[in-house]
Amino acid sequence: MAHGEVYAEQFGWNTDFEAMVAGIVGDYATGHDPAREGAWIAEIDGARAGSSSACDDEPGVAKLRTLLVTPAARGLGVGAELVNRVLSFARSAGYTRVTLWTTTTQSSARRIYEAAGFALTSEDPRHSFGHDLLGQDWALDLAPVTAASRR
């Protein structure tokens, strides 16, 4: 619901976006493998401030999904911390790559992804959520965890 409200207010997106996120969250809630998938909700002073999740996508590849930072929590590092949680989890679960999908409209999220080391791999124009958008696929190859990197 929070995704739908925030993106309707910020970008004018219709309920198709909220339905897509609800499907992702519903699939996670009813059938995730805790060893391979995780979800995080950030709080500030007891109030929800954001969320993110890591979902099993294909062998060796996790997908970063459902990143959201509430307007009140923006600029506080919540988004970067949520992405870092996903990446840390993906490494510990043995993934070698993390991918994600976003749009050019979501410029703040894209800055977080770039700062974390993600690289743009493809773009495709589409009509989604009531608007003409440019969708983007991003990926990050994870460095293997070694004894030296754990120190």
Contact criterion met (CB below 8 Å) for 69 and 78: yes
pLDDT given for residue 24 in this prediction? 92
Q: Whole-model pTM? A: 0.89
Q: Is the pLDDT of residue 144 over 70?
A: no
Q: How long, in residues, is the chain?
A: 151
Contact criterion met (CB below 8 Å) for 1 and 51: no
pLDDT digits (tens, 9 = 90+) for 69-89: 999 999 999 999 999 999 999
H/E stretch holding 56 reads strand 47-58
